[in-house]
Amino acid sequence: MAGRTLRVRGFPAELPPDRAADKLTIHFLRSRNGGGDIADVQVLPGSPPCALITFEAPEVAQRILKVKNHVLAIGRTQYPLEVTLYAAELSPDEVLRG
């Protein structure tokens, strides 16, 4: 999963998680946004909420990071998105022993 997962913030908190996942999937599938095939979308609760989007290929994630302004349009409202590379921290229990 290294280099394939992005953290996205800036979408409305009042949006139900399944609808937020649908809207983000559509946005990040579009080639004009640098997007491509998505392996997984997880909307995490919190204030503000964030989503973790994992792409099939790390090249897609890198292309998306190069796009300066991601804006999610919902109805007539536009939400500027903050998109960053997500690096999961491994707990000592998750480290593989060789």
Tell me whether residue 3 is in a domain. Answer: no
94 in any annotated domain: no
Question: At 31, which amino acid appears?
Answer: S
Residue 46 φ/ψ, nearest 5 degrees: 150, 175
56 Cβ contact list (under 8 Å, min separation 6)? 4, 36, 37, 38, 39
Is 88 inside a domain boundary?
no
In a domain, 21, yes or no: yes
pLDDT tens for each residue of 4-42: 999 999 999 999 999 999 999 999 999 999 999 999 999
Residue-number span of the structural domain to which 17 is assigned: 9-80
pLDDT tens, position by position, 46-75: 888 999 999 999 999 999 999 989 999 999
Whether the pTM exceeds 0.75: the reply is yes
Q: In this structure, what CATH number is given to the domain that contains residue 66?
A: 3.30.70
> Count of domains in the chain?
1
